[in-house]
Structure 1
Amino acid sequence: MKISIERGTLLKAVAQAQSVVERRNTIPILANVLIEAEGDTVQFRATDLDIEVVDKALAQVERAGATTVAATTLHEIVRKLPDGALVTLTADAASGRLTVEAGRSNFSLATLPREDFPVMASSEYHSNFSANAAVLRRLFDKSKFAISTEETRYYLNGVYMHVSTGTDTSKVLRCVATDGHRLARIDANLPLGAEDMPGVIVPRKTVGELRKLLDDDEMDIAVSVSETKVRFATPNLTLTSKVIDGTFPDYTRVIPAGNTRRLEVDAGEFARAVDRVATVSSERSRAVKLQLDEDRLILSVNAPDSGAAEEELAVAYSDERLEIGFNAKYLLEIANQVDRENAVFMFNSSGDPTLMREGSDESAVYVVMPMRV
């Protein structure tokens, strides 16, 4: 195999590959990227056996062929090459080496046989549809902060993507994530062809990798879903992932329907105020107390070891007086999701879950559990 490829194109493809491979693994081939050259394209494939990413790029292919080389090492080399350089990759089967040349730089890397590289089995997908990148980005970006990191509750270690019924009884594509302390439920119009999609839990790592496909707002992403796998594809990049084998809990039971005390506040001001008062506490889980009175909100933190802080905000609130506490980090993460000017909080009592929306938009709903203060 011998190819010549522009440094920027190569860097993008290798960066995607090396982020998928596991740094520590017992199977050496899984640290490698499979490079396959044919016609005028070169394909870079990487996997950790749960996720597989395939990146296609245009290149001058002098000699077709394939080899595998350490993804992280290749990425580091390409990253340090000068901008605009033309990189030549030459694989020599006899010596088992891959030569990387650019200008006066020359590297020789050990390779492993392509036959040893595991390729994820293609599966029969029940549902195939197309969704705009901006729509998918919103669904996953606004829900992923609530993914659980508790490995024992593995079925919460991802975003539950499924078809549901929206507030106006029409069908929607919905993403939900929760860790038992906070919950995010985000809706989008149901794409054509997604009606029979099985509900799947997309793992945390896949959600992180998927974000790299969704930068171009104009692009449509081909989505394929089966009971065990999910695939997201652009013309040049394909991300295939196993889904979490588990049942996502009935999240509808924790979304409060009877909260009547309504607080409306400037989302940016609120987030900055929470961040400021939480500064006095060294504990990330310190409670922030919200004291609500007629059109007035007082945020306070009391940390006996380090000090206390208080800040007052002008808000829209006309219900009876309420004092309620929240984990500062959770409150900040939810407030930072708001794209619109105002955040609307709906309370019941100091011991009940609180619901938050972005203004009058009901397609994004957040729930956070209170803390005793």
Structure 2
Amino acid sequence: MKLSIERGALLKAVSQAQSVVERRNTIPILANVLIEAEGEHVQFRATDLDIEVVDKTVAQVERAGATTVSAVTLHEIVRKLPDGALVTLSDDAAKGRLTVDAGRSNFSLATLPKEDFPVMASSEYDSNFSAPAPVLRRLFDKSKFAISTEETRYYLNGVYMHIADSDGGQVLRCVATDGHRLARIDADLPDGASDMPGIIVPRKTVGELRKLLEDDDVQIAVSVSETKVR
């Protein structure tokens, strides 16, 4: 695999990936980001087995391929590169190394085989709908403060998102509580969401989703099943 990508685009993708991976884990591959280059795009994938983040962006792909490398280490390197730098990623599968080149800077990182990277099970979704980013941002911002941090009360470690009746109609409602505080916030029901099953969105997932909701002009596509949200 060999590709070139602008530092800003690479930093955005790797930042999202490294925020998902666990710093302390007993499975080495979970500390890595899977990099897949093909055609005119490169895709970055990271998971902690509960959350999976995928970022696909444009790149100059000279040689297609895939590898995995430490997400945190790659993020630290890219973060310190100068703005506007063109970064080249090139892996040597035989040596198990990924080379990062940017101007006079050169780094060599250890890799793990892409085959070791876990694949999240595919799922059929019961409901698919779109909602403006500001709507979802408001739902999470007004409810997340009440999420419990007690791991033994796992059923309170998230935001309960569901369809509820209100004033003769239906709304999209988010509820959170830690046993002392209760947050409840409603939004107009998006088209196509009427058959959405109620789900608990975990605290960490809420935090990661919130990072994707900064752009006011974006419509967010949401897919929900009884066990997954995308």
Larger radius of gyration: 1
Partners of 1:57 and 1:174 lie apart in 2 by 33
- Is the aligned partner of 1:23 residue 2:18? no
Partners of 1:101 and 1:132 lie apart in 2 by 39
1:187 is matched with 186
1:171 is matched with 170
In the TM superposition, what is the alpha-carbon distance from 1:193 to its structure 2 partner? 0.7
Map 1:204-283; keep pairs closer than 5 Å. 204-231=203-230
2:65 is matched with 65
- Which amino acid in the other structure matches residue 72 of structure 1? V
In the TM superposition, what is the alpha-carbon distance from 1:54 to its structure 2 partner? 0.1
Partners of 2:146 and 2:68 lie apart in 1 by 37
User: 1:209-244, CA deviations, whole angstroms, 9 ceiling, x for partnerless residues?
Assistant: 00111011110011001011111xxxxxxxxxxxxx
SS at match of 1:184: strand
2:140 is matched with 140
| Gap regions ≥5 residues in structure 1 | 232-373
Partners of 2:203 and 2:92 lie apart in 1 by 38
SS at match of 2:100: strand
- Is the aligned partner of 1:155 residue 2:142? no
Aligned residues: 230
Q: CA RMSD in A?
A: 0.5
Partners of 1:63 and 1:178 lie apart in 2 by 50
SS at match of 1:14: helix
SS at match of 1:229: coil
- Which amino acid in the other structure matches residue 148 of structure 1? S
In the TM superposition, what is the alpha-carbon distance from 1:122 to its structure 2 partner? 1.2
SS at match of 1:151: coil
- Which amino acid in the other structure matches residue 65 of structure 2? G
In the TM superposition, what is the alpha-carbon distance from 1:31 to its structure 2 partner? 0.1
What's the TM-score, normalizing by structure 1? 0.61
Partners of 1:76 and 1:8 lie apart in 2 by 13
Partners of 2:217 and 2:11 lie apart in 1 by 23
1:273 is matched with none
Map 1:39-58; keep pairs closer than 5 Å. 39-58=39-58
In the TM superposition, what is the alpha-carbon distance from 1:153 to its structure 2 partner? 1.2
SS at match of 2:217: coil
| Gap regions ≥5 residues in structure 2 | none
User: 1:95-126, CA deviations, whole angstroms, 9 ceiling, x for partnerless residues?
Assistant: 11000000000000000000000011110101
Map 1:315-330; keep pairs closer than 5 Å. none
Partners of 1:190 and 1:42 lie apart in 2 by 35
Could you list the structure 1 runs, at least 4 aligned residues long, displaced by more than 2 angstroms after superposition: none
User: 1:119-166, CA deviations, whole angstroms, 9 ceiling, x for partnerless residues?
Assistant: 111101011111110000000111000001111211000000000012
SS at match of 1:230: coil
Partners of 1:217 and 1:120 lie apart in 2 by 30
- Which amino acid in the other structure matches residue 106 of structure 2? N
1:281 is matched with none
Partners of 1:3 and 1:169 lie apart in 2 by 56
Partners of 1:182 and 1:123 lie apart in 2 by 34
- Which amino acid in the other structure matches residue 13 of structure 1? A
Partners of 1:212 and 1:43 lie apart in 2 by 19
User: 1:47-104, CA deviations, whole angstroms, 9 ceiling, x for partnerless residues?
Assistant: 0000000001110000010000000000000001111100000011111100000000
Partners of 1:147 and 1:88 lie apart in 2 by 42
- Which amino acid in the other structure matches residue 186 of structure 1? I
